[in-house]
Amino acid sequence: MTINFRLNGNDTSVELAVNKRVVDLLREDLQLTGTKEGCSIGECGACTIIVNSKAVNSCMLLAQQLEGCDVITVEGLSDGEKLHKLQENFLKYGGIQCGFCTPGMLMSAYALFLENPKPTVDDIKTAIEGNLCRCTGYKPIIEAISASANS
């Protein structure tokens, strides 16, 4: 089957098997390895991407469901060599340690900003509650997202 969708601002057409998950399509077929697969059951948030302005777990979505959708992955945040303000602030505030959760955290925060450009700390906590991090203790992540909202 062939699906057509918009990926990181570019029209994309992909031939695929009907049972392929989005995380596999991105990582294996399209070589977009920024999206991480952690738990494979939608619990950890490492595979979070944006589909039609909403954060979704790409491990829980079949690729054929992307037909006609607008998709943004972590690779789509930066503008060439220029990092998005979220990425810059994750670096500045130490929101990255091992880095495994970082793409999912960035995408959940970006989805929040699409809905609410000036979120409160409680809004930020709610937006990232589906993203697990074993390293940072969340404080620097929340600070990085908050700083991005206020810049």
State yes or no: pLDDT of 151 exceeds 80. Answer: no
Beta bridge pairs of residue 7: 10, 71
Mean of pLDDT values over 14-33: 96
Q: Where are the beta strands (DSSP E) in the chain?
A: 2-7, 10-15, 48-51, 54-57, 70-72
What is the chain's mean pLDDT, rounded? 96
Domains located in the chain, CATH noted:
2-76 (3.10.20.30), 85-149 (1.10.150.120)
Say what the pTM is.
Answer: 0.95
How far is it, in rounded angstroms, from Cα 98 to Cα 8? 25
State yes or no: pLDDT of 63 exceeds 90. Answer: yes
State yes or no: pLDDT of 59 exceeds 80. Answer: yes
List pLDDT tens digits, range 87-113.
Answer: 999 999 999 989 999 999 999 999 999
